[in-house]
Amino acid sequence: MSKLLTIPSIRDSIGYLVEEGFIGAGRISEAAEMYRGSQERNHAPWNVGHGIDLPTFQFFETNPKRMARFFGNMENFGSQDAYNIRHLVEGYDWTGLGEATVVDVGGNTGHVSLALSKKAPALNFIVQDLENVIMDVKERAEGQPGYERLRFEAHDFFSPQPVSGAAVYLLRFICHDYSDKYAAKILQGLVPAFRQKSRILLFDGIMPAPGTVNNLAERKARIMDMEMMITYNAVERDLEGWKALFAKSDKRLKLQSITTPRGSAHSLMELVLDEASDT
Ligand SMILES: C[S@@+](CC[C@H](N)C(=O)[O-])C[C@H]1O[C@@H](n2cnc3c(N)ncnc32)[C@H](O)[C@@H]1O
């Protein structure tokens, strides 16, 4: 164990789990009583445990060390096969998009876009994230090989999408961090930017019905669900939950396809705008 702790991303994961998650985990009942039925981002057990009134990500933005630890945790997560980005790279016909733009919404360091750009050299990528994240990432990416086709842009995904007409608005590991109220805001911000052939690609977990997958996969999915509830007052959705979110966001959003790459904890959900259903 002490050897593992010398690996920075593992140290970050353990620190994140113990010092962020565990402190909220002991306050679940209290939060449920205080904020019964609330969808607010700052009504999580994490807020009660830490005595912090800001939503978790907003707090991390003011605290670079804890933000960096969260990112290290994400990096460690990605090293598990079920969360490896190869599932996304290989799970969609990226080259079939031709010369087009992909907007990586909440794209963090751009690591997903970077992997996709190697697979589909004709695509251009715009990686959006919070201002502080983008400032830091830009500095580190400058001059690094492979980053030429990535443009970094500060954008708050709760406001309208500034890039219109992209072929793909990609959201990997984003909507599960939010209750329906806020996840719908994110999707609603994207729809006005749609042009012909635009689509949203969500890469997120679809909660399996109890007993329908092997024990390990089920345990992982339910732990993730608990983590979303404790730290973000959010939820892992089953298919019905996702469909309800899409309908709440915009009646014209049509779930065109769902793909679950073999061995992946995430599924790819492709959403297009069905103008015919504008009621
Ligand atoms: C769970 S991480 C996912 C990162 C990336 N998509 C991936 O798959 O590795 C969530 C990301 O959303 C970003 N984020 C949080 N709130 C945001 C906001 N309001 N606008 C834009 N990005 C935000 C975080 O900084 C973080 O990079």
User: pTM to 2 decimals?
Assistant: 0.94
CB of 107 within 6 A of ligand 1: the answer is yes
pLDDT reported for residue 277: 66
Query: Which CATH number fits the domain that encloses residue 241?
Result: 3.40.50.150
3-class DSSP state of 126: strand
CB of 130 within 6 A of ligand 1: the answer is yes
Nearest C-alpha to atom 11 of ligand 1 is from which residue?
106
Residues 120 and 73 in one domain: no
- pLDDT over 90 for what percent of the chain? 83
CA 137–ligand 1 middle distance (angstroms): 13
Other CB atoms within 10 Å distance of the CB of residue 122: 12
Residues 72 and 185 in one domain: no
Mean pLDDT value across residues 12-36: 95
- pLDDT over 70 for what percent of the chain? 98
Per-chain mean pLDDT for the chain: 94
148 or 238, which is more confident:
238
Residue 279 has pLDDT above 50, yes or no: no
Residues 54 and 133 in one domain: no
| pLDDT-derived band at 275, boundaries 50, 70, 90 | confident
Which residue, among 118, 119, 17, has the nearest Cα to 73 in the 3D structure? 17
Ligand 1 nearest-atom number relative to CA 170: 6
Residues 180 and 52 in one domain: no
Q: Which residues carry out catalysis?
A: 176
Ligand 1 nearest-atom number relative to CA 177: 1
Q: Is residue 278 part of a domain?
A: no
Residues 133 and 234 in one domain: yes
Q: Is residue 279 part of a domain?
A: no
Q: Is residue 188 part of a domain?
A: yes
83-137 tens-digit pLDDT: 999 999 999 999 999 999 999 999 998 999 999 999 999 999 999 999 989 998 9
| pLDDT-derived band at 139, boundaries 50, 70, 90 | confident
Which of 60, 78, 96 is the endpoint of a domain? Answer: 78
CA 251–ligand 1 middle distance (angstroms): 25
Residues 150 and 17 in one domain: no
Ligand 1 nearest-atom number relative to CA 111: 9
pLDDT reported for residue 5: 82
CA 107–ligand 1 middle distance (angstroms): 6
CA 81–ligand 1 middle distance (angstroms): 21
pLDDT reported for residue 210: 92
Which of 19, 48, 78 is the endpoint of a domain? Answer: 78
pLDDT reported for residue 267: 97
Mean pLDDT value across residues 189-216: 95
CA 276–ligand 1 middle distance (angstroms): 32
CB neighbour burial string for 71-100, b if at least 16 within 10 angstroms, e if fewer: bbbbbbbeeeeebbbebbbebbebeebeeb
Residues 17 and 120 in one domain: no
8 A C-beta contact, residue 55 and residue 231: no
8 A C-beta contact, residue 151 and residue 127: yes
CB of 157 within 6 A of ligand 1: the answer is yes
Indicate the number of domains in the chain. 2
Other CB atoms within 10 Å distance of the CB of residue 273: 19
Q: Is residue 168 part of a domain?
A: yes
Mean pLDDT value across residues 11-19: 94
CA 169–ligand 1 middle distance (angstroms): 14
| pLDDT-derived band at 1, boundaries 50, 70, 90 | low
DSSP string, 62-123: H-HHHHHHHHHHHHHHHTSGGG-THHHHHSS-SGGG-S-EEEEET-TTSHHHHHHHHH-TT-
Q: Is residue 258 part of a domain?
A: yes
CB of 108 within 6 A of ligand 1: the answer is yes
111 or 5, which is more confident:
111
Q: Whole domain around residue 58: which residue ranges?
A: 2-78
| pLDDT-derived band at 7, boundaries 50, 70, 90 | confident
Nearest C-alpha to atom 27 of ligand 1 is from which residue?
108
Residues 117 and 135 in one domain: yes
Q: Is residue 229 part of a domain?
A: yes
Residues 70 and 103 in one domain: no
Q: Is residue 241 part of a domain?
A: yes
Ligand 1 pocket mutation pick from 69, 103, 157, 185 by most atoms within 8 angstroms of CB: 157
CB of 172 within 6 A of ligand 1: the answer is yes
Residues 197 and 253 in one domain: yes
3-class DSSP state of 190: helix
Residues 185 and 113 in one domain: yes
Which of 78, 100, 120 is the endpoint of a domain? Answer: 78
Q: Is residue 117 part of a domain?
A: yes
CB of 77 within 6 A of ligand 1: the answer is no
Residues 116 and 228 in one domain: yes
Ligand 1 nearest-atom number relative to CA 158: 19
ipTM: 0.99
